[in-house]
Amino acid sequence: MASKDSHRTTGPRHRSAQDHDGPLADYRRKRDFDKTAEPEGAHAPAEPGEAARFVVQIHDASRMHFDFRLEVDGVLKSWAVPKGPSHDPTEKRLAVPTEDHPLDYHDFEGIIAQGEYGGGTVIVWDQGTYRSLATDRRGNEVPFAEALAAGHASFWMDGAKLHGGYALTRTRGGAFGDNETWLLVKRKDRHADKTDAPDPWRARSVLTGRTLRQVAAESADEASRDDGD
* 164 vs 182, beta carbon nearer Mn ion: 182
* 41 vs 89, beta carbon nearer Mn ion: 41
Instruction: Answer for the pair 87, 103: CB distance below 8 angstroms, yes or no.
Output: no
Count of positions on this chain that bind Mn ion (CB under 5 A): 2
Residue choice 38, 67, 71, 100 for contact with Mn ion (CB under 5 A): 67
Return the range that interacts with Mn ion (CB under 5 A); candidates 9-17, 64-72, 125-133, 198-206. 64-72
CB of 98 to Mn ion, least distance (A): 7
Torsion of CA 95, 100, 104, 110, to 10 degrees: -50
Name beta bridge partners: 122. 59, 110
User: CA angle, 79 as apex, 25 and 207 as ends, to 5°?
Assistant: 95
Ramachandran bin of 224, using left for φ above 0, alpha for ψ from -120 to 50, beta for the remaining angles: alpha
* 57 vs 86, beta carbon nearer Mn ion: 57
* 30 vs 194, beta carbon nearer Mn ion: 30
Site for Mn ion in 44-63 (CB under 5 A): 59
Nearest in space to 94 (alpha carbons), one of 192, 181, 178, 188:
181
Instruction: Answer for the pair 154, 134: CB distance below 8 angstroms, yes or no.
Output: yes
- Could you give the CA distance from residue 80 to residue 119 in angstroms, rounded to a whole number? 15
CB of 141 to Mn ion, least distance (A): 31
CB of 112 to Mn ion, least distance (A): 9
CB of 202 to Mn ion, least distance (A): 19
* 123 vs 148, beta carbon nearer Mn ion: 123
Which residue of the chain is nearest Mn ion when measured via CB? 59
Site for Mn ion in 82-121 (CB under 5 A): none
CB of 31 to Mn ion, least distance (A): 12
110-131 burial by CB neighbour count: b if 16+ within 10 A, else e? bbbbeebbbebbbbbbbbbebe
Binding site for Mn ion (CB under 5 A): 59, 67
